[in-house]
Homo-oligomer: A and B are copies of this chain.
Amino acid sequence: MIGNQIYNFLKELFPICRSIMGEGNRETLRLIQKHIPIKIHEVPTGYQAYDWEVPQEWQIRDAYILDPDGNKIVDFKENNLYVVNYSIAVDEEVELKELQKHLYSIPKKPSAIPYVTSYYEPRWGFCIADSQRQKLKDGKYKVYIDSSLKDGSLSYGELIIPGETEEEIFITTYICHPSMANNECSGPAVATFLAKWLLEEKRKYTYRIVFAPETIGAIVYISKNYDDLVNNVIAGFNITCVGDNNNYSLMPSRSGNTLADKVARHVMDNFADSYKEYSFLYKGSDERQYCHPRVDLPLVSLMRSKYGTYPEYHNSLDNLEYVSPEGLLGGFNINKICIEALEGNAIYENRFVCEPKMMKYNLRPKDWHLRRAGSKSNSRKYVRDMMNILFYCDGKHDLIELADRVELNFKDCHNYVKLLYNKGIIKKI
């Protein structure tokens, strides 16, 4: 059900022509606002963020190519990928040979329209399927792009959900790709529903949830929130590529050994059928900023197919058919379980010198000592798991380490711990 809700929201976000700045981004943020109370921030053209400057805003109204016979062979209104993102305006008639210099296609994927950007180099261009390109005949083509670059602002959305402590869990996703389903829309769609779920009740941690364009948006965000991020964030999650049905992927943090890595590996090991952990050398999303050495947040990405690794990546095949409600549900859950594990995480200590007498607390079946002759192995496992937990509730291991040590998943381990805690056998420290 939640998978369908996320998928439906993704369908709303999909057609919008986003870029690093512009009206598409604002429309995206306003759609998110219908679900969760994000605040929309605007940062003007010219704003300096470290080595970067917020550029002019791109506005695009229409774009097409007419072939020598006057047929509209490429139409922005049909698919916003047809135009190079941030393309400058053009209105000319050009020979095919000249046109070719401004066309982008992928010979190995003849049916796919590539996604191409040129944010910082003024350039006009069109992206088309290579199969279509091969059929173009000589002659004069009319090329028309009605776009403009002018001072404006970079937009990002932010939601702070205060918790019992000022320690923060940071959730970030990006809103700068146009009609790309897995590598974009799945991110804000899943992040929106994570936020909705977080808003359902009071949490231990404060949550900082950010929807910003990739790279420049993250850099701007860091420049405005450096101290809070560096001082408060105990774990972060970049929500990206969480929509297809393929195996899970994990991008660790820069050091690979933070609390976020620990929880992510535990959750992947226990709740994903299988997954691949990538080297941080193959980073590519906003961990490039949030994990840069002098920011160095404990931030990871728990994905389905990682960006850059699947054939539909960054072309028109990454569409509404490529993702699914089931895929999105999996992406949602794997991140949600990490957060639940962090919320429930704590260090406990056994109050007893020797084993407590478990029958006193109704924590052991009364016929336990008859077990040798035919009792169920389930009850043996139940008793063994509970006792193992007691042995490693030593005031030193947090619950994630404890679960790993006793070879249980966090949820099962947490259930035992709650039982033991409620009976007064262990205490929180």
**Residues of A participating in the B interface, judged by any CB pair closer than 8 Å:** 49-52, 84, 104-107, 114-121, 125, 127, 215, 218-219, 222-223, 226, 254, 280-283, 288-289, 291-296, 314-315, 349-350, 352-357, 359-360, 366-367, 369-370, 372-374, 384, 387-388, 390-395, 406-407
| A315, chain B: closest CB distance, angstroms | 8
Contact between chains at A350 and B294 (CB < 8 Å) = yes
Which residues of chain B are within 8 angstroms of A294 by Cβ–Cβ distance?
350, 352-353
- For A106, A120, A289, A384, the residue with the greatest tally of chain B CB atoms inside 10 Å of its CB is A120
6 tightest Cβ-Cβ pairs between the two chains A and B: A104-B373, A293-B394, A114-B373, A219-B354, A289-B354, A51-B356
Known: A116-B372, A369-B116, A391-B254. A353 touches B106 (CB 8 A): no
Copies of this chain, complex-wide, total: 3
Known: A288-B387, A350-B293. A219 touches B373 (CB 8 A): no
Instruction: Give the secondary structure class of A's interface.
Output: loop
Q: Of all chain B residues, which has the CB nearest A84?
A: B370
CA distance A367 to B281 in the complex (A): 22
Contact between chains at B119 and A353 (CB < 8 Å) = no
A120 contacts which of B50, B105, B356, B359 (Cβ < 8 Å)? B359
- For A120, A226, A360, A372, the residue with the greatest tally of chain B CB atoms inside 10 Å of its CB is A372
Known: A106-B374, A370-B116. A226 touches B353 (CB 8 A): yes
Contact between chains at B391 and A355 (CB < 8 Å) = no
* Besides A223-B353, A223-B354, 17 new A-B residue pairs in contact (Cβ under 8 A), listed by A number: A50-B356, A51-B352, A51-B356, A52-B354, A104-B373, A105-B373, A115-B372, A118-B369, A125-B370, A283-B391, A288-B355, A292-B354, A292-B390, A292-B391, A293-B390, A314-B372, A315-B372
- Some 16 contacts from A to B, beta carbons below 8 A apart, are A105-B374, A106-B372, A107-B374, A114-B373, A118-B369, A120-B359, A120-B369, A127-B373, A254-B391, A288-B387, A292-B350, A292-B352, A293-B349, A293-B391, A293-B394, A294-B352
CA distance A135 to B293 in the complex (A): 76
Q: Of all chain B residues, which has the CB nearest A290?
A: B354
| A175, chain B: closest CB distance, angstroms | 18
Which residues of chain B are within 8 angstroms of A367 by Cβ–Cβ distance?
121
Contact between chains at A281 and B407 (CB < 8 Å) = yes
- For A106, A254, A357, the residue with the greatest tally of chain B CB atoms inside 10 Å of its CB is A357
| A354, chain B: closest CB distance, angstroms | 4
Q: Of all chain B residues, which has the CB nearest A406?
A: B281
| A108, chain B: closest CB distance, angstroms | 9
| A373, chain B: closest CB distance, angstroms | 4
Which residues of chain B are within 8 angstroms of A105 by Cβ–Cβ distance?
373-374
Known: A104-B373, A291-B391, A407-B281. A352 touches B119 (CB 8 A): no
Which residues of chain B are within 8 angstroms of A291 by Cβ–Cβ distance?
391
